Amino acid sequence: MSSPVTTTAETVFVVDDDEAVRDSLRWLLEANGYRVQTYASAEQFLDAYPSAPPGVGCLILDVRMQGMSGLELQERLIADNVQLPIIFVTGHGDVPMAVSTMKKGAMDFIEKPFDEAELRKLVERMLDKARAESGEQLVQKAAAERLGKLTAREHQVLERIIAGRLNKQIADDLGISIKTVEAHRANIMEKLNVNTVADLLRLALSKK
C-alpha cells in the first residue's frame, strides 16, 4: 500500500513494482532512521507527488517496471524541473542502462541484492545533495522577493550597477541626472537592505 506523499520532513521515496524489494528497502531504511514512502509504479508516484513539495527528499527508483519505466519517470521529472536526487535499482544486465541514467543526472545505481552499508551511504549522499539544493532555493526565493520591491526604473539602474557602470554613465544611458541616479541607488540599497555594493551584487546574483 502507498500513501499520499508528504514531504514536511526528509523522506526517501521508493518506486519499485516488486513488493518484496519495496518491503526490503523500507525495512533497511527505516531501521536506519529514515522516513520512507513506497510506490508500486511510476504512475502511482506521480499521482501522489506534489508539483512543489516542501522539505527534502530523494528517490530510489527501479529501472524496469510495468507501465512507465524508471527511465521514463526520470525523463518526466527532468521535464517537470523536479529537483529530486535519484538512485536507480538495477539487475546485473541493466548496468549499462543505469550508467546512461547517470549522464542525465542520476547520482548512482545499486545492483540487486543490495548491500546495506552501501545503500545507507548512497541515501545520505542524496539527502546531502537535496539539503544543499533546498537551501539554495530558499536563498533564491528570498532574493527574488526582495528584488520584487524595486520599480522598473530601479531595476534598470541595478542592471547597470551590476554591469559596473558609473553613476555618470548610468545617467547618460537612461537620460536622467546624476542626482536622480544617486537617489535610485540609495532607494535600491534601502529596499534590498544592503550596505555595500558587494552585498548588492551577491543578492542580485543569488537569484540567478
**DSSP bridge pairs for 61:** 15, 88
pTM (predicted TM-score): 0.56
Domains of the chain: 11-136 (3.40.50.2300), 148-206 (1.10.10.10)
Confidence of residue 53 (pLDDT cuts 50, 70, 90): low
Residues ≥6 apart with Cβ < 8 Å to 191:
146, 149, 150, 154
d(CA 107, CA 146): 34
Per residue in 127-175, pLDDT (tens digit) is 777 677 655 665 566 667 778 788 899 889 888 888 888 899 999 999 9
Q: Is the pLDDT of residue 208 over 60?
A: no
* Strand positions, DSSP E, 93-141: 108-111
* Strand positions, DSSP E, 26-183: 35-39, 57-62, 86-90, 108-111
d(CA 97, CA 90): 9
